Structure 1
Amino acid sequence: MGKTLFDKIWDAHVVSTKEGFPDILYIDTHFIHEVTSPQAFNGLRQRGIPVFRPKQTVATADHNVPTLHQDQPIKEELSRLQVEMLTKNCAEFGIELYGLGHPYQGIVHVIGPELGITRPGCTYVCGDSHTSTHGAFGAIAFGIGTSQVEQVMATQCLLQQRPKRMKIEVNGQLQKGVGAKDIILYIISQISAAGGTGYFVEYAGDTIRSLSMEGRMTICNMSIEMGARGGLIAPDQITFDYVEGREFAPKGDAWDKALAYWKTLFSDDDAVFDKVYSFRAEDIAPMITYGTNPGMGIGVDEKIPDAGQFSDQEQLSYKKALQYMGLQDDTPIEGHPIDYVFIGSCTNSRIEDLRQVAEFIKGKKKADDVTVWVVPGSKQVEQQAIKEGLDKVFEAAGFGLREPGCSACLGMNEDKIPAGKYCISTSNRNFEGRQGPNSRTFLASPLMAAAAAVTGKVTDIRELI
Structure 2
Amino acid sequence: MGTTLAEKVWADHLVRKGEQGAPDLIYIDLQLMHEVTSPQAFEGLRLAGRGLRRLDLTIATEDHNTPTVDIDQPIADKTSAKQISTLEHNCRDFGVRLHPLGDADQGIVHQVGPQLGLTQPGMTIVCGDSHTSTHGAFGALAFGIGTSEVEHVMATQTLSLKPFKTMAVNVEGTLPQGVSSKDIILAIIAKIGTGGGQGHVIEYRGSAIRALSMEARMTICNMSIEAGARAGMIAPDQTTFDYLQGRPHAPEGEMWDRAVEYWETLKTDDDAVFDKVVDLDANDLSPFVTWGTNPGQGLPINDTVPVPDKIADADKRRATTSALAYMGLKPGTPIKSIAVDTVFIGSCTNGRIEDLRAAAHIMKGNHKAKNIHRVLVVPASSRVRLQAEHEGLDKVFKEFGAEWRNAGCSMCLGMNADKMVPGERAISTSNRNFEGRQGKGSRTHLASPIVAAATAIRGTISSPADL
For the aligned pair, the TM-score class normalised by the smaller chain equals over 0.9
TM-score normalised per structure 1: 0.99
Q: CA deviation at 1:460?
A: 2.8
Residue 64 of structure 2 corresponds to 63
Residue 334 of structure 1 corresponds to 336
Matches of 1:151 and 1:359, distance apart in 2: 45
Structure 2 residue 425 is matched with structure 1 residue 408: no
For residue 205 of structure 1, what is the amino acid of its counterpart?
G
Matches of 1:111 and 1:196, distance apart in 2: 27
Whether the 8 Å contact between 2:170 and 2:205 is mirrored in structure 1 is yes
Higher deviation after alignment, 322-331 or 124-133: 322-331
Residue 374 of structure 1 corresponds to 377
Residue 365 of structure 1 corresponds to 367
Query: How do 1:418-429 and structure 2 match up within 5 A?
Result: 418-429=421-432
For residues 297 and 92 of structure 1, do their structure 2 counterparts lie closer, same or farther at Cα, with a shift above 3 Å needed? same
1:322-346 deviation per Cα after TM superposition (whole angstroms, max 9, x unaligned)? 1000012222111211000000000
Structure 2 residue 10 is matched with structure 1 residue 10: yes
Residue 157 of structure 2 corresponds to 156
Matches of 1:450 and 1:252, distance apart in 2: 42
Query: How do 1:301-316 and structure 2 match up within 5 A?
Result: 301-307=302-308, 308-316=310-318
Q: Which residue, out of 340, 346, 349, partners 1:347?
A: 349
Matches of 2:349 and 2:58, distance apart in 1: 22
Residue 125 of structure 1 corresponds to 126
1:43-72 deviation per Cα after TM superposition (whole angstroms, max 9, x unaligned)? 111111111111111100000000001111
Q: CA deviation at 1:418?
A: 1.4
Matches of 1:148 and 1:69, distance apart in 2: 34
Residue 106 of structure 2 corresponds to 105
Query: How do 1:199-214 and structure 2 match up within 5 A?
Result: 199-214=200-215
Matches of 1:313 and 1:452, distance apart in 2: 32
Identity %: 56
Q: Which residue, out of 395, 400, 411, partners 1:392?
A: 395
Task: State the secondary structure of the residue aligned to 2:56.
Answer: helix
Matches of 1:87 and 1:299, distance apart in 2: 44
Whether the 8 Å contact between 1:197 and 1:226 is mirrored in structure 2 is yes
1:220-271 deviation per Cα after TM superposition (whole angstroms, max 9, x unaligned)? 0000000000100000000000000001111111111111100111000001
Structure 2 residue 444 is matched with structure 1 residue 441: yes
Residue 88 of structure 1 corresponds to 89
Task: State the secondary structure of the residue aligned to 1:334.
Answer: helix
Structure 2 residue 266 is matched with structure 1 residue 265: yes
Unaligned runs of 5+ in 1: none
Residue 290 of structure 1 corresponds to 291
Matches of 1:310 and 1:237, distance apart in 2: 47
Aligned residues: 464
Matches of 2:459 and 2:99, distance apart in 1: 37
Unaligned runs of 5+ in 2: none
For residue 271 of structure 1, what is the amino acid of its counterpart?
A
Q: CA deviation at 1:294?
A: 0.1
Task: State the secondary structure of the residue aligned to 2:354.
Answer: helix
Q: Give structure 1 regions of 4+ aligned residues with deviation exceeding 3 angstroms.
A: none
Structure 2 residue 246 is matched with structure 1 residue 245: yes
For residues 310 and 102 of structure 1, do their structure 2 counterparts lie closer, same or farther at Cα, with a shift above 3 Å needed? farther
TM-score normalised per structure 2: 0.98
Whether the 8 Å contact between 2:450 and 2:463 is mirrored in structure 1 is no
Give the superposed CA RMSD: 0.8
Task: State the secondary structure of the residue aligned to 2:335.
Answer: coil
Task: State the secondary structure of the residue aligned to 2:350.
Answer: coil
Matches of 2:307 and 2:184, distance apart in 1: 23
Task: State the secondary structure of the residue aligned to 1:258.
Answer: helix
Q: CA deviation at 1:274?
A: 0.2
Matches of 2:106 and 2:201, distance apart in 1: 29
Whether the 8 Å contact between 1:385 and 1:391 is mirrored in structure 2 is yes
Q: CA deviation at 1:368?
A: 2.2
For residue 141 of structure 2, what is the amino acid of its counterpart?
I
Task: State the secondary structure of the residue aligned to 2:142.
Answer: strand
For residue 170 of structure 1, what is the amino acid of its counterpart?
V
For residue 413 of structure 2, what is the amino acid of its counterpart?
L
Residue 320 of structure 1 corresponds to 322
Matches of 1:174 and 1:383, distance apart in 2: 30
Whether the 8 Å contact between 2:18 and 2:25 is mirrored in structure 1 is no
Q: Which residue, out of 455, 459, 465, partners 1:452?
A: 455
Q: CA deviation at 1:463?
A: 2.4
Matches of 1:292 and 1:358, distance apart in 2: 28
Whether the 8 Å contact between 2:362 and 2:464 is mirrored in structure 1 is no
For residue 30 of structure 2, what is the amino acid of its counterpart?
T
Matches of 1:385 and 1:163, distance apart in 2: 39
Whether the 8 Å contact between 1:189 and 1:295 is mirrored in structure 2 is yes
Residue 433 of structure 2 corresponds to 430
Whether the 8 Å contact between 1:286 and 1:461 is mirrored in structure 2 is no
Q: CA deviation at 1:459?
A: 1.1
For residue 16 of structure 1, what is the amino acid of its counterpart?
R
Higher deviation after alignment, 159-168 or 277-286: 277-286
For residue 198 of structure 1, what is the amino acid of its counterpart?
G
Q: CA deviation at 1:317?
A: 2.2
Residue 167 of structure 2 corresponds to 166
1:390-449 deviation per Cα after TM superposition (whole angstroms, max 9, x unaligned)? 111111111111000000001110000111011000000000000000000000000000
